[in-house]
Amino acid sequence: PVWRLEADGSGATRLSSNALLQRRYRFVEEVRAADVVGLLLCATGASYGQELADRLEFLLRRAGRAVYRFVVGRVTPEKLGNFREVSCFVSLASPEHFPFDAQDFHVPIASPFEAEVALGAREWTGSYVTDLEELLADPLPAHSIAEEELVVQTL
- Does the structure show a pLDDT above 70 at 55? yes
What is the distance between the alpha carbons of residues 12 and 74, in angstroms, rounded to a whole number? Answer: 22
Q: How many alpha carbons fall within 13 Å on the CB side of residue 36?
A: 9
Residues 6 or more apart whose CB falls under 8 angstroms from that of 78 comprise none
Count how many domains the chain has.
Answer: 1
CA quadruple 117, 124, 105, 97: dihedral sign: negative
Q: What is the pLDDT of residue 14?
A: 59
Specify the amino acid at residue 80: L
Residues 6 or more apart whose CB falls under 8 angstroms from that of 111 comprise 24, 27, 90, 91, 98, 130
- What does the pLDDT look like over 89-104, one tens digit per residue? 999 987 766 666 667 7
Going by the DSSP 8-state scheme, the letter that residue 47 receives in this structure is T
What is the distance between the alpha carbons of residues 91 and 89, in angstroms, rounded to a whole number? Answer: 6
Q: What is the pLDDT of residue 143?
A: 61
The range of the structural domain enclosing residue 40 comes to 35-121
Q: Is 13 helix (H, G, I), strand (E, B) or coil?
A: strand
Domain contains 129? no
Domain contains 114? yes
Domain contains 98? yes
Q: What is the pLDDT of residue 151?
A: 45
Domain contains 16? no
Q: Per-residue pLDDT averaged across 43-50, rounded? A: 72
Strand partners, 45: none
CB 71 within 8 A of CB 126: no
pLDDT band at 13 (very low <50, low <70, confident <90, very high): low
- Does the structure show a pLDDT above 90 at 60? yes
**For 13, phi and psi rounded to 5 degrees?**
-120, 130
Q: Per-residue pLDDT averaged across 29-47, rounded? A: 86
pLDDT band at 75 (very low <50, low <70, confident <90, very high): confident
- Does the structure show a pLDDT above 60 at 85? yes
pLDDT band at 154 (very low <50, low <70, confident <90, very high): very low
Residue 85's CATH number: 3.40.50.11860
Domain contains 18? no
Q: What percent of the chain stands above pLDDT 70? A: 75
Domain contains 5? no
